[in-house]
Amino acid sequence: MKPKVLVVAHGVRSLSPSLSEQIDANYHIINYDCDNTDECKRRMMPGGLYSEIDAIVETGWKKSAPFLNHNLFSGDMVQAYPSSVKIVSCSGHGYDAADIPTLTARGVWYCNTPDTCTTSVANTAIFLILNVHRYFGFAEHCVRIDAWSASRALGSVAIDPIGQTLGVVGLGSIGLATAQKAATALEMRVHYYGPRRKPDAEAKIPGGAVWHTSLSSLLQVADCICLACPLTKETHHLMGTAEFAAAKQGLRVVNVARGQLIDEEALITAMITGKVCGVGLDVYENEPVVDERLKNDPMVTILPHIGVCSQTCWGEFERRNWENIDGFFLSANKKPLTPVNVIE
What's 132's domain CATH number? 3.40.50.720
pLDDT for 173-227, tens place per residue?
999 999 999 999 999 999 999 999 999 999 999 999 999 999 999 999 999 999 9
Answer yes or no: is 10 within a domain.
yes
Cβ–Cβ under 8 Å, residues 91 and 58: yes
Is 287 considered catalytic here? yes
One domain, residues 245 and 293: yes
Asked if residue 281 belongs to a domain, the reply is yes
Q: Is the dihedral of CA 87, 88, 91, 92 positive or negative?
A: negative
Locate the DSSP E strands across the chain.
4-9, 28-31, 55-59, 87-90, 109-111, 165-169, 189-193, 210-212, 224-227, 251-255, 276-281, 300-302
Q: What is the pLDDT of residue 309?
A: 94
pLDDT < 50 regions, the chain: none
Residue 258 annotated to the active site: yes
* Per-residue pLDDT, 178: 98
Nearest to 317 by CA among 331, 341, 338, 343: 338
Report yes or no: 137 and 131 within 8 Å, Cβ to Cβ.
yes
Asked whether residue 166 is assigned to any structural domain, the reply reads: yes
* 58 secondary structure, DSSP code: E
Query: Are residues 295 and 302 in contact, defined by beta-carbon separation less than 8 angstroms?
Result: yes
- Judgement on whether residues 75 and 99 belong to the same structural domain of the protein: yes
Same domain, residue pair 128 and 224: yes
The distance from CA 112 to its chain's CA centroid, rounded to whole angstroms, is 11
How far, in Å, CA of 117 to CA of 241, rounded? 31
Strand partners, 253: 225, 279
Residue 289 backbone phi and psi in degrees, to 5: -75, 130
Element spanning 300, H or E: strand 300-302
86 and 108 assigned to the same domain = yes
Give a yes or no: residue 140 inside a domain.
yes
Q: Is residue 344 part of a domain?
A: no
If we measure between CA atoms, which residue out of 35, 38, 31 comes closest to residue 77? 38
Cα(first)–Cα(last) distance of the chain, in Å? Answer: 24
CB 188 within 8 A of CB 205: no
Residue-number span of the structural domain to which 275 is assigned: 118-302
Can you give the pLDDT at residue 68? Answer: 87
Number of domains within the chain = 2
**Is 305 noted as a catalytic residue in this protein?**
yes
Q: Is there a single domain that holds both residue 131 and residue 253? A: yes
Annotated catalytic residue within 287, 293, 319, 323: 287
The answer to whether position 21 is within a domain reads yes
208 and 90 in a single domain? The answer is no
Note the pLDDT of residue 63. Answer: 86
pLDDT digits (tens, 9 = 90+) for 213-250: 999 999 999 999 999 999 999 999 999 999 999 999 99
